[in-house]
Amino acid sequence: MLAFLPLDFLPAAYRAWFVLAIAMVLAAAVALIVHHIGFLVLRRITAPRPYLHAAVTGGAIPSRFVFALLAIRMVLSGAPGEMLFTRGLSYLTTVSFILCLTWWASRCVKALSDTAIRLNPYDVADNLRARRMLTQTRVLARSAHAVIVLLGLSFVLLTLPGVRQIGASLLASAGVAGLVAGIAARPVLGNFIAGLQIAFTQPIRIDDVLIVNGEWGRVEEITGTFVVVRIWDERRMIVPLQWFIENPFENWTHRTSSLLGTVFLWLDFSVPLAPVRKEFERLCKASPLWDTRVAVVQVTDTTERAMQVRFLVSAANSGQAFELRCYLRERLIAFICEHYPGGLPRVRAQVGEDRDAPRPQGKVVPV
């Protein structure tokens, strides 16, 4: 193909390398042109489909290297076997091609996950579906990245004759999820499988409100091995993924974020409940924290001294329920103190002696 070039000025030992270099440059240039044309066509075709469009645009840069390295590898495969250093260059090209393929796959996974998160924003009032999608996307994306890197490393090792057995072992362990590599790898594999269970069954999601070991907090992040729970006082609790599969915990936002909140007051028997109930309903209607679903006043217990009154109220989420309970507790106590000063529980005791009671006769002897 390059016989028309005047190569008489070069020594015979370098003419073959010069021709090979020119052929590799031309092949890479043609591959880049083909890639550019194909990229423009695919970008236009996938424009109405956000996920395919994201995969095409996200893998644009690594795919250029893949096309160029593939063209160079094809040229090197046709080079004469007696040329020096061609085997080493061919090996380096193959390894680079595998690494670029791994990079391309990782970029496509990241583009897909970013698109899923962008199309399902969870900073809205009713974000249950968005949080479900966000949790699945993040957990599956991290798992996919780990599998892609493992496969890329395995294929690279398979190209080395000395360590081909190690690459085959890694590839087999990636393909058979049920095999346990050893006791040391059991926690890692357990967390990996727990992550897949959480992604599909979703006992927890991003921004869920949990009670874990008596602590109230929100799920801030779900990684491939642990969950970050942001406690109400800004502390972070790090919990392994496998713990959520093996232990019971409370999830206040599993199906819906709305909750019922209670306010308990101990009142004297002399307090009439009708005005208190009317004031309670007025306070609920005046507060934007109430979601208009539930507002109930009930006497739930009595003792020989007072009665226990429960004020049951509903709110859109746990944060608003807590604030609404505090608001109602403060206003109800103020209302009772103002209108029924003796309405709060009192301990009645007789102080001093009754003047009409008969006094003991005789001398009192101290003991």
Residue 103 has what pLDDT? 92
Give tens-digit pLDDT for 27-79. Answer: 899 999 999 999 999 989 988 888 888 888 888 899 999 999 999 888 888 77
Q: What amino acid is encoded at 118 in this protein?
A: R
Residues 142 and 194 sit within 8 Å (Cβ to Cβ): no
Confidence band of 358 (pLDDT split at 50, 70, 90): low
Residues near 362 by Cβ (< 8 Å), separated by ≥ 6?
none
The pLDDT value recorded for residue 184 is 44
Closest CA to 301 of 272, 267, 332, 336: 267
Architecture of the domain whose range is 259-339 = 2-Layer Sandwich (3.30)
What are the angstrom distances between the C-alpha of 14 and each of 2, 242, 306, 309? 14, 62, 105, 98
- Range in 7-11, 100-104, 295-299, 338-342 the model is least confident about: 7-11
Residue 164: the pLDDT is: 54
Strands 215-222 and 226-231: antiparallel
Asked if 131 and 205 count as a contact pair (C-beta separation under 8 A), the reply is yes
Higher pLDDT, 356 or 137: 137
Pair type for strands 250-251 and 259-267: unpaired
Q: Where are the domains of the chain?
A: 1-119, 144-251, 259-339
Q: How far, in Å, CA of 332 to CA of 311, rounded?
A: 10
CA distances from 78 to 24, 29, 75, 81, 165 (A): 11, 18, 5, 9, 28
Tokens found for residue 275: 């005005």
Q: Has residue 327 got a pLDDT over 60?
A: yes
State the CATH class of domain 144-251: mainly beta
In single-letter form, the type of residue at position 141 comes to A
Higher pLDDT, residue 138 or 54: 54
Three-state secondary-structure class, residue 213: coil
Joined together, the tokens standing for residue 99 give 């690494």
* Residue among 271, 251, 266, 268 at smallest CA distance from 329: 266
Show the CA angle centred on residue 287, arms to residues 285 and 289, nearest 5°. Answer: 115
The torsion angles phi and psi of 290, rounded to 5 degrees, stand at -80, 135
Rounded distance, CA 177 to CA 171, Å?
11
Q: Which residue is listed with tokens 């020096």?
A: 84
pLDDT band at 331 (very low <50, low <70, confident <90, very high): very high
Length of the chain: 367
Which long-range contacts link 1-8 to residues 24+ away (Cβ below 8 Å)? Answer: none
